[in-house]
Structure 1
Amino acid sequence: MSDFTPRHAIVTGSDSGIGAATALALADAGIDVAITYHSDKDGAEETAEAVRGRGARAIVAQFDATDFDSVPDAVNAGGGIGGTFLDLDLKTWRTDIALNLDGAFLALHTAARRMVQAGSGGRLIAVSSVHEHQPRVGSAPYVAAKHGLGGLIKTMALELGQYGITANAVAPGEIATPINDMSADDAERTHRPGIPLGRPGKPSEVADVIRFLASPSGSYVSGASWVVDGGMLQMGPQAGSHMESDAWRSAGEE
């Protein structure tokens, strides 16, 4: 198990954004990829073609992280609804928790059991969020779910290490993806005063970290949460896309 080399990966939500970039990054590493989508079948098929173009095999399947009776052996999927704490109702709360925590648990649990049965080790990687580490106003259920996912990953690392399975989270900050109404090209032309690197991230920059964790090079990394946010967390929980001034950059200068 110490010589584990990944040959197959399942990347949920890989019809666009971080998921699509991850599928391509893994294909570049010679890994065959199962691509799942919720509603954008065309996007998933486009990702599959790009994976095949890199010499790897690809299959496509529909996946709804909240359809618990048909959760396949996937890794993670998520999204957020939002709303201030006082305005939340139980339905909204449960929908967000179900998508970001319950669905993640079931997918990770299914994958872990298959890995243990196979007896050759494995990598479990959850795409979390910087809000696993810091809260954000107006996102109580999403933040609670991501905090929970982070704790789940750490516990999994403790329990699954004996089987040669690592468990880690990748915690992106603001990334230029369709869910943020941006394309990858927008990252370089969008200025963000509240991010030390001054811009949103590219999906490929998150995918590169995931590829490392999935590779033999990540064999001794487990129970960690890898923040990929251009330094945003160091600015405090309300920075990022919400800060409107660069004045902080010259603080202390005369």
Structure 2
Amino acid sequence: MAFPAPLPADTDRPRTAIVTGADSGIGRAVAVALAGGGLDVGITYHSDGQGAEDTAAEAREAGVTAVVRQLDLTELPGAAEVVDDLAGKLGGVDVLVNCAGTGSREPAVDMDFASWRQVLEVDLDGVFLCAQRAARRMIDAGRGGRIITITSVHEHVPRVGAAPYCAAKAGAGALTQVLALELAEHGITVNSVAPGEISTPMTGQTDADPREQDRPGIPLGRPGHAREVAAAVAFLATPAAGYITGASLVVDGGLMLMGAQAGTAFPDQSWRTP
């Protein structure tokens, strides 16, 4: 028997979103995608102010409001106040997308504590504090909401040379599940999106066309495009995804499926070097 899907009420439609780290790459694609769906967007950046303004200009082409603020997640907890600032400017926050992040490329035994803590501050502490502030706003507004964190396939699987990054992303994934339980009574869903290799500045592929990048070890044979990640985020922000919470949506071209298959395919010990 087929059951017709209920039509969401207009009051369920999100109107405002805040996207951290939206000056380039996945964050920019997410902000533009949400703007294309009619959401006013708050955009944050760490150091590339012009990149953030470019994102805002592209978002405004969809006829929405876009507000830009600087956010340095190494200056916590105070830096997270930007969520309240942007929510005030936008008239609320229905969707928060935690996209700001950093990484590392160094063996754990060689890493100093300051480097370890910097990645944890940005990729985990920042996620917690921004989500906390957004959740409080959503609860007070009484309209439900969406909290979505961009993690990584390394939320689920390790990588040599990325100890703090993997620890932070795994932590963000567990935090997502806890928040999903705690916020469900308020109609707030909490999910993560876990990308594999995506052609962005963070992976050293600024302006690269993923269709022209050969990746034999990825089943789909190429990296992903930032817009493909943004499409997953945009879906989770809609009323159509209202029954999905505590999930990690992997967007990786099948990379994680390789597992033992890839492990038996290495011809030498090169994988041990970050």
TM-score exceeds 0.5:
yes
Alpha-carbon distance between aligned partners in 2 of 1:243 and 1:216, rounded to the nearest angstrom: 44
Q: Which residue of 1 aligns with 2:61?
A: 53
- Correspondence list, 1:1-254, <5 A: 4-68=12-76, 69-71=78-80, 72-73=82-83, 75-76=97-98, 77-236=100-259
TM-score scaled by length of structure 1: 0.91
Q: Is the 8 A contact 1:170 1:228 kept in 2?
A: yes
What is the CA distance between 1:236 and its match in structure 2? 2.1
Within 1, Cα distance between the matches of 2:116 and 2:163?
A: 8
Supply the distance in 2 between the matched residues of 1:157 and 1:184 (Cα, whole angstroms): 35
- Give, as a single letter, the amino acid of the residue that structure 2 aligns with 1:106: L
Question: What is the rounded CA distance, in whole Å, between the counterparts of 1:224 and 1:18 in structure 2?
Answer: 19
Name the TM-score, length of structure 2 as normaliser.
0.84
From the superposition, tell whether residues 213 and 65 of structure 1 become closer, same or farther in structure 2 (CA, over 3 Å).
same
**Offset at residue 92 of structure 1 (A):** 1.2
Q: Distance in 1 between matches of 2:186 and 2:72?
A: 28
Shift of 1:237: 8.4
Q: Distance in 2 between matches of 1:177 and 1:60?
A: 21
- Structure 2: 5+ residue stretches without partners: 1-7, 84-95, 268-274
Give the gaps of 5 or more residues in structure 1: 245-254
**Identical aligned residues as a percent:** 53
CA distance in 1 between counterparts of 2:72 and 2:233 reads 22
- Could you tell me how far 1:100 is from its partner in structure 2? 0.7
Q: Is the 8 A contact 1:18 1:204 kept in 2?
A: yes
1:97 Cα deviation after fit: 0.8
RMSD: 2.0
1:181 positional shift: 1.6
Amino acid at match of 2:137: R
Distance in 1, Cα, partners of 2:134 & 2:260? 33
Does the CA-based 8 Å contact 2:104-2:161 persist in structure 1?
no
Structure 2 Cα separation of the partners of residues 226 and 214 of structure 1: 13
Q: 1:61 aligns to what SS in structure 2?
A: strand
